[in-house]
Amino acid sequence: MKMVKRSAMVVVLTALALLGSPFAAKPAEVNQADQATLVQLEKRAWEVAKQKDWEAYNRLLSQNFVWVDDNGVLLGRGPFLKYMAGLDLTDYSMEGVNVTMFANNMAMLTYKVTHQGKFAGQTIPSTPFYVGSAYLRRTGGWVNVYTQMTAARQ
């Protein structure tokens, strides 16, 4: 038992030492053009959802797109688009949009959104949601590979 605890401590201390090391990866810097493009893509997704233009939405997603929400729903691209067909979005507002670059081809947007409308015939609660959307730059530009929405606790 002592050996397991000692081994775990060595692993933790080694990880901490590496994090402070000059060899640790440094976050990529967000350039203005990429930041503007990514924010615009995220807004475009909300706009095409509002217009119920699922073909346009489909073009914003990677082939291996993943969606997770509060209900634990984990969907791929095709099932996600069918799921979203139940959305009747009338308005939305995004606030606190932050872009984090992990590499020159990998970024995540995080923000709070409040949206109005109905989903599957039920009025969408006025509770804001926190959103995280991951994007990869691939041939042809940025594509959304992952989105998670979590209801804000009031």
Taken in order of first residue, the domains within the chain and their CATH numbers are 29-151 (3.10.450.50)
Give the pLDDT of residue 30: 73
Give the pLDDT of residue 126: 84
Residue-wise DSSP of 32-48: HHHHHHHHHHHHHHHHH
Give the pLDDT of residue 75: 87
Distance CA 25, CA 34 (A): 20
Per-residue confidence of the chain (154 residues) as pLDDT tens digits? 444 444 444 344 344 444 444 444 555 677 899 999 999 999 999 999 999 999 999 999 999 999 998 888 788 999 999 999 999 999 999 999 999 999 999 999 999 999 999 999 999 988 899 999 999 999 889 999 999 999 998 6
Distance CA 112, CA 120 (A): 22
Q: Token pair of 85, please?
A: 């067909």
Instruction: Please say whether the beta carbons of 131 and 148 come within 8 A.
Output: yes
